[in-house]
Amino acid sequence: MKILAIGDVVGSASIDYLARKLGAYRAANGVDLICVNGENATQGHGIVRSDADALFRAGADVITTGNHVWKWREIREYMDEVPTIIRPANYPDACPGSGCVIVDAAGARTLVMNVSGLVYMDTLSDPFDAVEKMLRDNAGRYDLAVLDVHAEATSEKAAIARAFDGRIACVWGTHTHVQTNDARILPRGTGFITDLGMTGPVDSILGIDCGVIINKFRTRMPVKFTVPAGEISASGALFTLDRSFRAVSVEAVTL
């Protein structure tokens, strides 16, 4: 079984890019499930209904999100209507949507989960407890589980992955928009990468115009983030699992 996870998609041109690339990649590599982080899909922050629809049409089976998810109000209702777009499970229970969803992938019931880290992130409930709860609540209803840890700190992402090694088939990090060079199989069979990277303009800082970001750092004043035009690349990871859903390979990929 093969699972492709794609890092934070920044802007509409990046959605179009995935629409051109994902179908061919899926066919060429025999991918059974594609998870895409969509928290930056609309103008670099959040995701509106039409962009979520476009990401699904582009080939995403599940859209995960992160700290920018609530930027556009309309996503609240969309989340309750469309279960295959999820948000970090450790947001308050009063928030719309869910932190996980079970989808069919090559006949396997796959529990896709999303949590946010706490280090340099919003103050939310404990992500370890949130994952435990999702696994417990869905026990008997899934064959394998995968997890998007949306977090800043590499140590926190590694700690969550190691804490659930052998119980979750794939753990990948998102949020930093920079792909890490550490794709590996953990001792009990979980495939892990600290961060997938992003899908966005190559000539940018994390998908945003370089001049805007330099100005922000040099002035410490609010700026309007803009997504520059130009060449795009998509970063992610391809996980290959055996019949018992243990990782046999994890590979950082660029589309």
Judged by CB under 5 A, the stretch of 57-65, 67-75, 158-166, 214-222 that binds Fe ion is 67-75
Q: Using the rule CB under 5 A, is 175 a contact of Fe ion?
A: yes
Judged by CB under 5 A, the stretch of 84-92, 117-125, 173-181, 211-219 that binds Fe ion is 173-181
Active site residue 45: no
| Residue 21 contacts residue 14 (beta carbons within 8 Å) | no
- The set of residues, in sequence order, having a beta carbon less than 8 Å from that of 127 and lying 6+ positions away, is 88, 89, 90, 115, 116, 117, 118, 149, 151, 156, 160
Comparing CB distances to Fe ion, the nearer of 110 and 235 is 235
Q: Using the rule CB under 5 A, is 66 a contact of Fe ion?
A: yes
Q: Using the rule CB under 5 A, is 21 a contact of Fe ion?
A: no
Q: How far apart are CA 187 and CA 167, in angstroms?
A: 12
Binding Fe ion (rule: CB under 5 A), the pick from 1, 3, 6, 8 is 8
Nearest Cα neighbor of 4 from 168, 204, 234, 243 is 234
Comparing CB distances to Fe ion, the nearer of 87 and 175 is 175
Q: Using the rule CB under 5 A, is 40 a contact of Fe ion?
A: yes
Minimum distance of Fe ion from residue 26's CB (angstroms): 23
Q: Is 197 left (phi over 0), alpha (psi -120 to 50) or beta?
A: left
Residue sitting closest to Fe ion (CB): 8
Longest dimension (CA), the chain: 54
Lookup: tokens for 200: 């966005």
Q: Using the rule CB under 5 A, is 51 a contact of Fe ion?
A: no
Angle between helices 49-58 and 12-29 (to 10 degrees): 20
Q: Using the rule CB under 5 A, is 67 a contact of Fe ion?
A: yes
List contacts with Fe ion (CB under 5 A).
8, 39-40, 66-67, 175
Active site residues: 68
